[in-house]
Structure 1
Amino acid sequence: MFKYYFEQIHNVEIWPIISLAIFFTFFIGLLWWVFRMDRSYVDKMSNLPIDEL
């Protein structure tokens, strides 16, 4: 049923490629941020729930 709707959209085949590129870029950016994160910041954030007790 949805196949007929997608046939009416011009250049519909590009949208899955764009969404995959956005996901891949976000995932790589997130990995880059995690690996470059300062260790003292990670320790501070991990102790945050304990410090409030």
Structure 2
Amino acid sequence: MLKFIKGNLESIDGVQVYPIISLLIFFIFFVLLFWWVLTARKTYINEVSNLPLDANQNEE
């Protein structure tokens, strides 16, 4: 199966740049997510973490 995909991809000019771009997008996304988690305000995190509990209390 892989030989069919590899054969088709080898015929495309500049195809080697796509894995690099996808790796950069993946890495940048998780770096930004990590930065957001570290810089998030504790009050916001506590408020959001209590949302499911607040919804259950409002139904009763």
TM-score, normalisation: structure 1: 0.90
What secondary structure sits across from 1:23 in the alignment? helix
- Structure 2 length as normaliser, TM-score? 0.81
Structure 1 portions without partners, runs of 5+: none
Q: Percent identity?
A: 45
Aligned length: 53
Larger radius of gyration: 2
Q: Which runs of 5+ in 2 are unaligned?
A: none
CA-atom RMSD, angstroms?
Answer: 0.8
Runs of 4 or more, structure 1, over 3 Å off, are none
Between structures 1 and 2, the one with greater helix share: 2
